[in-house]
Structure 1
Amino acid sequence: MPADEADAVRGLDPARTDPLNAPVLVARRGRGHWSARPGDAPRVLSPAQVAGAWHGRAPLVVHRPATARRLGLDPAHLNAFDLLELFAFINPAETPPPTARGLAAALDVEAPGTDAASEIACIRAIARRLIKVASIKLRLPEPAALLHDAAQAGWIWGAPLIAASGAVPPADSWGMRVWGRLPEWQEQPPEGRPTQLGVLPEEAVQRLERLTGAGAEPRPEQRRYAMHASLAFAARHEGEGPAVVLAEAGTGTGKTLGYIAPASLWAERNGGTVWISTYTKNLQKQIDDELDRLYPDLDEKTRRVVVRKGRENYLCLLNYQDAVRRSDALGPDRVGLALMARWVGATRDGALYGGDFPGWLAELIGRRATLDLTDHRGECIYSACEHYRRCFIERAQRRSRRARVVVANHALVMVQAAAGGDDPFGPDRFVFDEGHHLFDAADSAFAVDLSGREGEELRRWIAGREGQRRSRARGLRDRVGDLVAGRPAAEEALAEAMRAARALPAEGWRQRLDDGQPDGPFEVFLARARGAVLARSPAGADAPYGLEAPVAPPGPELIAAAADLEAALRLLEVPLGRLAETLAGLLDDEADTLEPGDRARIDATARAISRRAAGLVKSWREMLAVVEDGPPAHHVDWLAIDRAFGRDIDVALKRRWIDPMLPFARVFGERARGLLVTSATLTGGRLPQRPSAADADAAAAAGEPVPEAPSSREGLVNRDGLASRDGLDWQTAYTRAGARHIASTPQTLSLPSPFDYGQAALALVVTDLRRSSADQISAAYRELFLAAGGGALGLFTAVRRLRVVHDRIAGALDAAGISLYAQHVDPLDTATLVDIFRAEEESCLLGTDAVRDGVDVPGRSLRLLVLDRVPWPRPDILHRARRLAFGGHHHDDAIVRLRLRQAFGRLIRARDDHGVFVLLDGALPTRLTTAFPEGVRVERVGIAEAIRRTRGFLHPDHAGVAPDVGDGTPGAGSGPAGTGGGLPRPDASGNNRDPGGA
């Protein structure tokens, strides 16, 4: 397209669309720094002035939506040369942090300083580098074709890039139809059952030495760990159960390579597959990176290593194709799809979460062209899809059958193991890293919710999306109609299931509940459940948060509604079961005529009906049948209303295992030959020697039993007869790893971190803040972050408090040149926020438990960690049942110790790290301070002292500078303990109110 035509599409003056001579805008909170042309010093402009300067003058920016947000402007009305879009087009499947510093590091451009002028100069240098690279790369046929597509759709970069590269679209390019040039996978015969030769400890050490390489720093703890991990890969003999190994290894031990060594050796020796499972996608990526040592050749690694995620994490090519067909020739969707085409052609595995997809791209080009293209509605049609042999999900599944190492997540591994228990070629050696989260993962994997959203989703899965023509969602008739055609029994079962599905909630069920007009037995039950919760909740209908209530005692209306719904669901379960049996029978009846693709489609569909439909409906019926009498042993049922921003989003009857490790042990105890469960925080930490007088007094005042301590650090036996050695709480590890339910005796090991925590870290508990005062807590975060000069992570036990603190401190930090980012505030995924925080050493980040667990930020980027409260478990119905089953306050203490250990573990990640840990809650019992590593002295101080100590520890050269105390520093002055002393500073708006309890 000629440049003038492309500019006309955008409505811009062609003379003002040369990016190398365009203005540059750097935004700070409430102000912009504008440089009109190269060489001009930046001017500071108000948001209104920026909007005026922006009109008709598209500037160079990094992350247009974030730039607009900082100025309080609407991103939809601001056109700009966003360097992130250009980077994504030129270097697809690369994921730098979405900042000028992040792009500079990715392009080997000199990093900017903290001042706006330096950042503006860096942005111009990045633009020059990217356009230079584009002038070469975009001459290739496929990118040239996509560039012209994007330019025709009005992409602001289109005309400049065409001019710079001279790109000419070839006549035979795939262009937007990028699926056509993806390679097809081929069916492979099964490799057969792996042999069961064991790995000796000394062999594991030899493999470890190969992985670490000659000249590596000696790490005796890592050698010892590898030897212990090898016990999970020992040969098994008749009468022996699975080898269960529990291994705790402190940060810095090198446990990842420690277990990769014996795992990879076993897989190669036996021709089998080891599944390595994690709780977070962040650790998945770290393990994948470490496997480069094992397979430095990319082609070999592609054959031998597979990173697996759930189906909902992958791009669906059919969804992408439909989006391309629906997109207009002009418009942002078309531009976004061109950028996605670049990524589709370059991605390693097609994963939109936790892989090589830049998370920030979804905000730049919209969810419709990115994250909404996943297969998240269960609408896959398998071999009936024209992209079946190019499908990223199918490819990953087939590669994992022949891989040596599969890196997956806990939820997927549990679902795969439970569903594939009869697979003779399935894996039987597992490594569960982040093992302290196994309990939580099993809790989710084996949970059952009879809810409005689940019911609506099941109806859509059976009947298709009713009344929405543009949707691709297909019902059962579309997916299996051709398979059952001519088989009367199957056709009748399908017809019965379609009729019975009308009892499930249809779209609009929430509004009908609000209007008091439920339609059908499912919605009537939801209305009765909702009424029961509201009747028993002190907060009532006005509560902004979720509500729950026990089922017992159920009222007669709830009992009657449950019986009606159970009968309706039986009319659905029976035909679905017959349909699944019929489809499964085809695999035997027509084994000699079915094509491999048809076999896979029939098998997958039959399993889906049995698991997703018949299995789920059966569980619902079991729950409804005991509404009057109560759930069976080992379970707890309750009614719940889920809310967001004060609005009901779901109503449910929920069931959980009191101990979800019972079904976990049943699945893996039967199929596994070796289980390694490992973590830096597997045990509950050190057990307290004896209760302090203060703890005894506090317990007595609260009416709780005085905590007891073991009389000896050696040989303590807990109530299950499981030994706690070396003064460590192994009972927590046995419970949360499921070892108490597996017949084999676990082999245990705990290795401390090699770090000198006494020198590297400072732990402070602030005693003079009122926890309910949003003013005091916000001021404490602000002053601590300023004392550290950035590099601070603020952790919260509630999203509401996080948002309040963010709003009150962002302006003050920005004025000090410190950028503040936050989960649940910034519309970026957690991984991207952490990437920014890691790259920007002077920035700060606020987050919740997703940031507390599994995040690796070594160096100066994280030098202060502030936790708002003692992370006690929420005392809900489920927790009360578990507290009763697992030892009362000992169970609570174990959870808090694990959370504190995880939070503190974010702080010191390398030998040279130094950091301060601050807990803004003086109610931390002394007995729980054993959660911190040996050598860490926990000190109780006022907030003014905490600020002084933080500044002095992190900036010893400036330790003599008197801190700003008494005039706004909370806790300063001579106020009584617990009042915070001096008054907190007002926020940027002058608001000094305390909402209380925020």
Structure 2
Amino acid sequence: MRALVVGVRGAVMVDVHGEVRSLSSAQARRTLSSGIGGKRPHGPVLVCHGRATAKRLDLETIHVLDVLELFAFVRPARFCLPTARGVAQELDLPIPATMAREAESLLGSAAALLGQLAEDAPLLGRDLAPTAWAMKQGGWPWADYVLAALGVDPGRDTPHTRNLLEGFRVWNKLKEWEERPPEGPPGHDGVAPDEARARLDFLLGAGGKAERRRQQSDYSAGAAEAFTPMAAEGRPHFILAEAGTGIGKTLGYIAPASVWAEKNAAPVWISTFTRNLQRQLDGELDRLYPDPDEKNRHVVVRKGRENYFCLLNFEEALARLPARPQDAVALGLMARWAQFTRDGDMIGGDFPAWLGDLLGRAMTWDMTDTRGECVYSACAHYKRCFIEHSQRRARQARLVIANHALVLAHAAMMEATGGAQRDPSAPTRYVFDEGHHLFSAADSAFSAQLSGREGGDLRRWILGAEEGARSRSRGLKARLEDLIGDDGKVQDLIVDIRKAAHALPGVGWLQRLSGGQPYGPAETFLLCVRDQVYARCAHKRAGGYSLETPTRPPVDGLFEAARDLDDALRALAQPLGALAACLADKLDDEADELDSAQRARIEGVILSLQRRALIPVKAWRAMLDSLRQGETPAEFVDWLSAERLGGRDVDFSLHRHWVDPMAPFAEVMEASAHGVLVTSATLRDAPDSENAGWLAADRRTGARHIPGDVVRFAHASPFDYAQASRVVVVTDVNKNSADQVAAAYRELLLAAGGGALGLFTAINRLRTVYARIAPALDDAGLALYAQHIDPLDTGTLIDIFRAEPNSCLFGTDAVRDGIDVPGSSLRLIVFDRVPWPRPDILHKARRQAFGMGAYDDMLTRLKLKQAFGRLVRQQGDRGVFIMLDGALPTRLTTAFPEGVEVLRCGLKDAIAEVRGFLSAP
């Protein structure tokens, strides 16, 4: 066995005898290419993250031993960084400092993992051997090593080979959930400021080393206002609380929230925008509930259904294994994870994102309920379902850690149904952390899109897999047939629904549109959308970017196509609505006959009909009606688009967004919530006027639509930014010159010695700069990671960057908003240019409604404020913020903390400033 680590310019290989060889990229490429599909003359090659290794060497596939696959098998549902250093650290081995040491550590890590298997063999061998045997049949390179460690002869037929799938049937090893009686209504006891302060003191003491701060205590006392009893119907307590970095707002709002939940026997939902903060919140609650079992009872992390592993999807994938034996490797690793996962959460839970990168989407993330085809109690795994577990636990919990997408999806459902889908057990108290993202989250939740992809998804949801389709969709009839029995009326409605669904885009719709041969009213309409977009944007088509155009004036045929599609959607909506009504009547008429599981299933189907069909069809018809009438309601913005990827069409759409999506958000909060706390480090804008700053916060959080008084307070950061940071605007770099921008990045990152975050306003510029400077940084021993280049998800890239103090990371908006890297790992931020908002149709409408140029300035300042806020995260942090765009207006520099010096100078002086400031004691 040999271990290989690949850099930007070359590679290092180490064999089991300790011999080290330096290889060029070409030599490494030949080494890995020579053994694809067969045995290598010098033994197998061990790497860490085979896909990343292959990409770095410009190879499509490689046949290697990947230490991450072995880690996932031996330590399922455990996290490690997908690097040689990360694996070594998790195994408590020495952390390697050079490429040669990294290669050596891979050998050590593999030996340690196989050694752990050997130690566990007496207890686990009976369970693990069948799984390893099945994975061996799928060609898993590790199978023989694993079986040998388990004490099984890989060359002999044994009892383990006679039922290879037994180890994959993970549902047999999972606990069933039990129904509990419904909770009573929540109490109405408030939380006094002193109670919040006392609970905060307890939380700080529980951690042992936490620092007590007056600002944090005052913040917690102010947050308690959201947990006072509501005095009048429809007038919830609405609190806007800005807490500068370092205040400690997380524990600050957990304190009053946890007190209220205990006093009133009801949950508080804490909503965040990023998965990173969900994980951080979950970790912080160890202070409140140090006993894992108690925490499991009182704390639940909730996400949408599409985040959770579906056992039925997994079982169906197993059924295809005889025809696809190569899938055994991925399915075996997924079975290992599913047996040990805390809650089945695949998106930000304990599922390592790098495992999805290695195994591919089809065998990992597509195992979630992304298609909305759950059969509820008809599923053989219903009593063990991760989603059902999570939902039931949330009803009994004290604190539910959710995300904006889930909370606002529920809000959108209520808004669309006029409150008809209001859950009696729904929360009445909310905390929205990362509140500066509420506007964009609401924008997504309350929008509508009539597109080929959306229409095709609905057709597939109704009809199931059609001939020529690569889908395992079951269709509406298959999901309902055992539920409706011989009910002739319902059967007739399903026939009508299936017939009407053929008006939606079918398999191959995009190819038909490309050839100008649409089939059915939906495809005909989409072809007219395509014609209008390209008629108005023909000069931009060669650029490969997505295109958009207003709905008016229409091209010939667009109105007629809209009318025909509206007629077809009406023919679909009528039987869909009648089916939902029939199922609701069934709940009433057979109330004395239906058991709990049957009732839950019928209620689930009604909810699915609303969410997946009736609500979108209603929105589509409203959009088509506006198109035909030639006038969009004043509160909305409509437009047409062609989505393009890699220079080719992938979808065509009619869009509708609220001009102000916080209006429906506020309407739902008014109807359902008793108390809402919206908090962030960057709620306010930072113009010259204090009142203008809060006006911006009101607009972005919906406070201006809330009836009654809104409480606003802010606590400044305790950090001395004037001493801890510098802002430099480089005035002599041409931002339109790739050569100059790349050279500036290279020299600034070298001057800082790594620990640098490069932020870009366009992916193409990121790719260009990366390609030009990565070799130079590699020569200097600085690792450069990049979003959109490295085959790793953004969260994993940030984790690696945080763990390697001298590495560098390039990214776009997702990195700017979701990164939390305290300490020296982040000491330099370089922004390629002023992040002005993109002047698309939606932004133009909002700009006109919200203040023209002042609105642009506000959005840009908030982006700068968010980016700068990444730099100093704890006492002792120091850093420099560089803007490579000399056109940064002075009025935007109020985004930076008061007292921070803004230096405008040339690149040479900027490099000297970085080197001098970061090296000073």
> Please, what TM-score do these two structures have when normalized by structure 1?
0.87
Deviation at 1:218, TM superposition (A): 2.1
User: Which residue of the other structure, out of 26, 37, 43, is the alignment partner of 2:16?
Assistant: 37
Structure 1 residues 239, 379: CA separation in 2 closer, same or farther (over 3 Å shift)? closer
Secondary structure of the residue aligned to 1:853 is helix
Pairwise CA distance, 1:553 = 1.9
**Which shifted more, 440-449 or 332-341?**
332-341
* 1:884 alignment partner AA: Q
The offset of 1:78, in angstroms, is: 2.6
Residue 512 (structure 1) shift? 1.1
Structure 2 counterpart of 1:676? 677
8 A contact 1:208–1:257 mirrored in 2: yes
1:112 matched to 2:112? The reply is no
| Code of the aligned partner of 2:74 | I
Q: Choose from 872, 876, 892 the match for 2:840.
A: 876
State which drifts further: 426-435 or 596-605: 596-605
CA RMSD of aligned residues (A): 1.9
1:252 CA displacement: 1.0
Residue 43 of structure 1: SS of its match in structure 2?
strand
Aligned residue in 1 for 2:155: none
1:772 aligns with 2:736: yes
CA contact (8 A) 1:843 1:861 kept: yes
Higher mean C-alpha displacement, 809-818 vs 33-42: 33-42
Of the three residues 194, 197, 204, the one matched with 2:196 is 204
Aligned counterpart for 1:137 among listed residues 97, 105, 120: 120
Matches within 5 A, 1:614-633: 614-627=614-627, 628-633=629-634
1:69-468 pair list within 5 angstroms = 69-74=55-60, 76-80=61-65, 82-113=66-97, 115-139=98-122, 140=124, 141-166=126-151, 174-213=166-205, 216-238=210-232, 241-328=235-322, 331-419=325-413, 421=419, 422-468=422-468
CA apart distance, 1:45: 4.2
CA distance in 2, matches of 1:466, 1:750: 57
CA deviation after TM superposition for structure 1 residue 406, in Å: 0.8
Contact 2:430 2:676 in 1 (8 A): yes
Q: Which residue of 1 aligns with 2:899?
A: 935
Q: Quick check: 489-498 or 562-571, which moved more?
A: 489-498
Deviation (angstroms), 1:468: 4.8
CA distances 1:717-751 after superposition (whole Å, capped 9, x unpaired)? xxxxxxx2xxx600111011100001021111111
Following superposition, the deviation at residue 240 of structure 1 comes to 7.1
What is the rounded CA distance, in whole Å, between the counterparts of 2:676 and 2:28 in structure 1?
A: 63
Structure 2 CA distance for partners of 1:942 and 1:332, relative to 1, 3 Å: farther
> What is the count of residue pairs matched by the alignment?
896
Residue 633 (structure 1) shift: 2.1
Matches within 5 A, 1:969-980: none
% identical equivalent positions: 54
SS state of the match for residue 427, structure 2?
coil
Contact 1:634 1:659 (C-alpha < 8 Å) held by counterparts: yes
Cα distance change, pair 138–246 in 1 and its aligned pair in 2 (3 A): farther
Structure 2 residue matching 1:360: 3-state secondary structure: helix
Per-residue deviation at 1:46?
A: 4.3
1:856 and 2:858 correspond: no
Provide the residue aligned with 1:796 in structure 2. Answer: 760
Alpha-carbon distance, 1:766 to partner = 1.1
Query: 2:51 matched to which residue of 1?
Result: 65
Q: What residue number does 2:550 align with?
A: 550
Letter in 1 for 2:198: Q
Answering whether residue 9 of structure 2 is matched by residue 26 of structure 1, we say: no
Report the counterpart of residue 603 of structure 2 in structure 1.
603
Once residues 489 and 361 of structure 1 are traced to their aligned partners in structure 2, the CA distance between those partners, rounded to angstroms, is: 47
1:455 maps to a residue whose letter is G
Secondary structure of 1:859's partner?
coil
CA contact (8 A) 1:152 1:329 kept: no
The within-5 A match list for 1:873-952 is 873-952=837-916
Equivalent residue for 2:720?
756
> Match of 1:389, as an amino acid?
K
SS of equivalent residue, structure 1 residue 781: helix
Per the TM alignment, residue 562 of structure 1 is displaced from its structure 2 partner at its CA by 1.0
CA–CA separation in structure 1 for the residues paired with 2:702 and 2:867: 24
User: Cα gap change, 1:828/1:946 in structure 2, threshold over 3 Å: closer, same or farther?
Assistant: same
1:867 to 831, 837, 845: 831
Q: Is the 8 A contact 2:725 2:881 kept in 1?
A: yes
Residues 762 and 137 of structure 1, relative CA distance in 2, 3 Å threshold: farther
Residues 768, 580 of structure 1: alpha-carbon distance in 2 compared, 3 angstrom cutoff? same
* Rounded Cα–Cα distance in structure 1 between residues aligned with 2:121 and 2:304: 34
Give yes or no for contact 2:356–2:364 (8 Å, CA) kept in 1: yes
Letter in 2 for 1:613: A
CA distance in 1, matches of 2:316, 2:820: 39
The answer (yes or no) to whether the contact 1:65–1:363 under 8 Å persists in 2 is yes
Q: Over residues 42-69 of structure 1, what are the superposed CA-to-partner deviations in whole Å (9 max), with x where a residue is unaligned?
A: 3334423553476412122222222232
CA deviation map 1:843-869 (0-9, x unaligned): 211111111113111112111111111
1:688-744 CA distance string (max 9 Å, x none): 2xxxxxxxxxxxxxxxxxxxxx5xx6xxxxxxxxxx2xxx60011101110000102
Question: Where in structure 2 are there 5+ consecutive unaligned residues?
Answer: 153-157
Q: Distance in 2 between matches of 1:328 and 1:946?
A: 63
8 Å CA contact 1:785, 1:792 repeated in 2: yes
Q: State whether residues 153 and 329 of structure 1, in contact with CA within 8 Å, keep that contact through their aligned partners in structure 2.
A: no
Deviations 1:357-392 (A, max 9, x none): 111112222323212211111222111111111111
Verify the 8 A CA contact 1:90 1:138 in the aligned structure 2: no
Alignment of structure 1 residues 834-845 onto 2, 5 Å? 834-845=798-809
Kept after mapping to 2: 8 A contact 1:29/1:811: yes
Structure 1 residue 265 displacement after superposition: 0.7
SS across alignment from 1:523: helix
**TM-score, normalised with respect to structure 2:** 0.94
Q: Aligned with 1:860: secondary structure?
A: coil
For residues 480 and 666 of structure 2, what CA distance do their matches in structure 1 show? 35
* SS of aligned partner of 1:42: strand
The amino acid across from 2:917 in the alignment is F
User: Which stretch of the first structure deviates more once superposed, 138-147 or 739-748?
Assistant: 138-147
Aligned-pair CA distance for 1:630: 1.2
Counterparts of 1:380 and 1:29, CA distance in 2:
46
User: What is the distance in 2 between the residues matched to 1:889 and 1:736?
Assistant: 17
Letter in 1 for 2:346: L
Q: Which residue of 1 aligns with 2:26?
A: 47
What aligned pairs does 1:817-832 form with structure 2 within 5 A after superposition? 817-832=781-796
Residue identity in the other structure for 2:735: R
Structure 2 letter corresponding to 1:932: F
Distance 1:755 1:169, change over 3 A: farther
SS at match of 1:586: helix
State the shift of 1:483 in Å.
3.1
